[in-house]
Structure 1
Amino acid sequence: MRVHVVDHPLVAHKLTILRDKNTPSMIFRQLTEELVMLLGYEATRGVAVEPREIETPVSRMTGTQLKRPRPLIVPILRAGLGMLEGMVKMAPSAEVGFLGMARNEETLDIVTYAERLPNDLTGRHVIVLDPMLATGGTLVEAIRFLYERGAERVTCVCLLAAPEGIERLEKGIEGLEVDLYLAAIDERLNEKSYIVPGLGDAGDRLYGLAE
């Protein structure tokens, strides 16, 4: 697994406002979209392309276009939905799928409760969106699920990560090719598995439930 922390003044500035508990939901959503666009720019740096012959007003030339099959953007429900708009703005020709995963409180296993994806992901570059990499359990299962469907490559975009989550992810997907793009790696998880200093519950803050 390759971990990329996007070191950019704009990313740091927007993330600071995002973390502030006094930032209202409307601004939180806007900043999330802007941050995802900045992270998505870096995360799509290695996307597959192919040449395309075009004619400009002056002459013919060989340009570049995204190679088919186009990338597939997959937000993890529900908080990942808040990242979708920013990623789609960066890659408007990409397709979008959805994946819902939750922890079974009795068995502690991660179960898939919803999915809307192509049956065959052969040859697909899948970009997974999930704002917080905390314990890492959900992202591990999501990546395994996508590779079992035949995905060729998986890139994950998260706003924040805890060291514990990164460690679990590395162990849980050993042997699979994954790139992880982050705005920051925080200190640790607390006893409730929240990232510290973090930004709270991303889903609640995106949808106004934390106010």
Structure 2
Amino acid sequence: MRKGIKASLSLLLAMTAMGEAAAQSPSTQPKASGMETDVTKIKQALLGNWESIAPEVRPSAAKNADGSLKPFYLKRTFKYLPSDRFELEIVNSADPYGAVPLARLKIGGHMLWQGSHPIAAGAQKVNFIADEAYEVTPLAAGFADVLNKVASAGYAPWAVNATQSIFGKTFVPFALKEGTNFMEYDLVYLRGDLLFWGARNIDGRGFDTEQNRPTNLQIPLVRK
């Protein structure tokens, strides 16, 4: 089990380490030209709570011995709030059915709307910036043990169900540096009670640059 948890930790780190992307002030972001009416309607419809239909799988940057990509299993809950604020919770598991949870991540921040995305009519480019909160909670003893080896500096001992904030701090496992905020270049497409974000790049690359922004749709969240 410990070996499996270590492997899953590697996947978690590969999926969440977005390098040194720092938050940018909304006032410095380019505004979508001619899209304000549509975006306003999308934002209004987006308000509320969303969740995964079932445990999901994504490709990670970590590879098996044969060169194939290892899977990353997770469930998501998401809340869109007024003033472009959001709250996101991700639970990573070691198995496809979510029976062995490893870690919970909670992120809070803002969505910056960057204009239309060509994948579907009404799809929008959106940057997610964790400029309010970022918390990590180990859910398995082996996971906490690994964090105590690779992320002890500046933190209390990691323990199961003991949440710690990594917001604005150096956190080596996720390549976060002090004073910077986690950020992803993503997309949003709303269709009725289904909310689509971008599908992970097939080679496991994160959404850490404009060039790595997703091109296609991921399995959707459903309205709660």
TM-score (norm 1): 0.28
More helix by share: 1
More strand by share: 2
